[in-house]
Structure 1
Amino acid sequence: MRADETTESTSAGSGEHAEDIDVLVLGGAGVDTIVYVPELPLPYADSYMIDRGIRPRAGQTGDFVALGLAALGLRTHHLDFLGEDPEGDLVRALHRDKGIALTVIPQPAGTKRAVNLVGPDGRRLSLYDNSRGRPADRFPEDTLRTLAAASRHAHVSITHPCADALPVLREAGAGISTDLHNWDGENPYHEAFAYEADVVFVSATALTDPRATMRRIAERGRAEVVVATAGAEGAYLLADGELTHVPAAAPPGPVVDSNGAGDAFASAFLFGRLGGEPPRRCAEYGALAGAYACTVPATESAALSRDALLARAATGR
């Protein structure tokens, strides 16, 4: 282990053996500050009174995927950069409290953070601080190779410097998934992730033609499965050359926040895939987990358990 590297592990450590890890989650660790606003878009005003508080909460995309996977019983290990700051402490505490193994690479620029404005209908506007990194940042190759060799699968966030880790993950033989989030289908930054992963998730929000983009990902890259999530409209699944629609699942309670729904979908989909389920069933698992996530307030971190997911899948709700 290098001098600039620390490991904080609650369920796995530096002595992993082959396939001791079900899923290695790469990147996407950080803190969101949640602000509930009266409407979105928020009209200009000199000030607003926020009666529900302004609260920082550990949990960005990688954290939420790791949380979802661990709740479903998968052996999960998270690798990312964190600062020695209060935000980094929140992320460390989340992993410790949830029993998720965490390997930390020190980040002098500080822990990734964002401000999320959440409207009354649960929609979110995220203001992401992209200053919490350095262009020259790279994961230590020895650490990355060790963790990849011990993993059945790697889920790669699109945060820097995860793209540079993709060749090492591929060489290690782990399956790879990624979430392109609100890609517009054109930004070249996302292409390394889109064309290198075996399973690709993307939000349909910014896509002018989701079906065409999904087919392009499959044709140009390695993807065996492409999923475009579309919120209340469900999701589109491309597998074995066939594109189908997967209906949205009914939320088990009032919808209060959409933050983390896509991460929950990805976690449950991967749970099904690693369990040998067909793609359609995996997507149905994802829809159920995503619907549950919409009932969890943005200030909290909770995920659907394995037993709850399987029970809801058995009843179709």
Structure 2
Amino acid sequence: MDDAIDVLVLGGAGVDTIVRVPGLPLPYADSYMIDSGIHSRAGQTGDFVALGLTALGLRTHHLDFLGDDPEGDLVRALHEKHDIALTAVPQPLGTKRAVNLVGPDGRRLSLYDTSRAHPGDRFPEDTLRSLAGASRHAHVSLTQPCADALPVLRDTGVTLSTDLHDWDGENPYHEPFAHTADVVFLSAAALPDPEATMRRIAARGRARIVVATAGAAGAHLLADGELTHIPPAVPPAPVVDSNGAGDAFAAAFLYGLLGGEPPRRCAEFGAAAGAYACTVPATESAALSRDALLKAVPGGGRPS
């Protein structure tokens, strides 16, 4: 295991099958001809956060369940290609999978296969404690069984972040994550009042920073009780797919935070990385480099 880890990424390893469709919502029809092909590639939320962190020069370790199957081989190959440390706990039910329908404007609809996890799954506590104890920070995915790992992680003293994705502010599954993490990311897509939800997260939990991303409208940053709007970054190329934009945002934000940058600049880093992610086709896995990020968001110091 690593002697020193900047960020331990917990959960969110899997394979997506990408299908480009003529529009979303997809009108009912007996069949569609998919000229762009149907592609399977490694990369779910934890994979993309780990990829983004590694591209920015942070020592990253990813811990999750993987099956002894072709999907697991794809995930292992992705980590080997990008030199991301990976601890894979055997999963007899197989590696997590999803199907992403991607529209012409880059929006996506994800269909997650929940059959590849068991309610009794738990990360080995010794492994979890050892990795967390060697880490400066841990980013926890929503995937099962990460909720059960939260008390152990908190007990180690490591700071925590999580991404609630498109939480509606009501689903109780998300609450342990929202109320345990020091930094909370979420999408504003399903929130009728993002500020109210953000302030409720901060009031009920431990979060000192809450960020709600809003796509082309930018992001909302709550830090030290003050709400700030972060304008969107200009994508460096045409937008082709929004898949992974939130993960890229979180990775770049954490890069800034661990480098001692103020929350606003961290959010500007996140906006730039998220905009770049929208220019990467869903069939590929790529992340913004540190030099490119600092060029896109000039000024300030250089996080280590």
Bucket of the pairwise TM-score, normalised by the shorter protein: over 0.9
SS at match of 2:297: helix
Query: 2:118 matched to 1:127?
Result: no
| Distance in 2, Cα, partners of 1:167 & 1:276 | 26
1:9 — aligned with what?
Answer: none
| Distance in 2, Cα, partners of 1:145 & 1:229 | 31
Structure 1 vs Structure 2 CA RMSD: 0.9
Report percent identity of matched pairs.
Answer: 81
Normalised to the residue count of structure 1, the TM-score between the two structures is 0.94
Normalised to the residue count of structure 2, the TM-score between the two structures is 0.98
| Distance in 1, Cα, partners of 2:129 & 2:77 | 26
Superposed CA deviations along residues 84-137 of structure 1, whole A, max 9, x for unmatched, are 110000000000000000000000111000000000000000011011100000
1:167 — aligned with what?
Answer: 151
Superposed CA deviations along residues 256-300 of structure 1, whole A, max 9, x for unmatched, are 000000000000000000000000000000000000000000000
Query: 2:263 matched to 1:279?
Result: yes
| Distance in 1, Cα, partners of 2:240 & 2:110 | 16
SS at match of 1:62: helix
Query: 2:22 matched to 1:38?
Result: yes
2:244 — aligned with what?
Answer: 260
Mark the runs of 5 or more structure 2 residues left unpaired by the alignment: none
Find the partner of 1:151 among 135, 147, 156: 135
| Distance in 2, Cα, partners of 1:289 & 1:252 | 10
- 1:175 Cα deviation from its structure 2 partner: 0.8
Find the partner of 1:192 among 176, 179, 194: 176
SS at match of 1:43: coil
- 1:54 Cα deviation from its structure 2 partner: 0.2
SS at match of 1:160: coil
1:313 — aligned with what?
Answer: 297
Matched AA of 2:241: D
| Distance in 1, Cα, partners of 2:296 & 2:195 | 29
Mark the runs of 5 or more structure 1 residues left unpaired by the alignment: 1-13
Find the partner of 1:112 among 76, 92, 96: 96
Query: How has the CA–CA distance of structure 1 residues 282 and 42 changed in structure 2, closer, same or farther, with 3 Å as cutoff?
Result: same
Query: 2:8 matched to 1:24?
Result: yes
Number of residue equivalences: 300
| Distance in 2, Cα, partners of 1:174 & 1:268 | 19
- 1:52 Cα deviation from its structure 2 partner: 0.3
Superposed CA deviations along residues 189-224 of structure 1, whole A, max 9, x for unmatched, are 000000000000000001111100000000000000
2:200 — aligned with what?
Answer: 216
Matched AA of 1:304: L
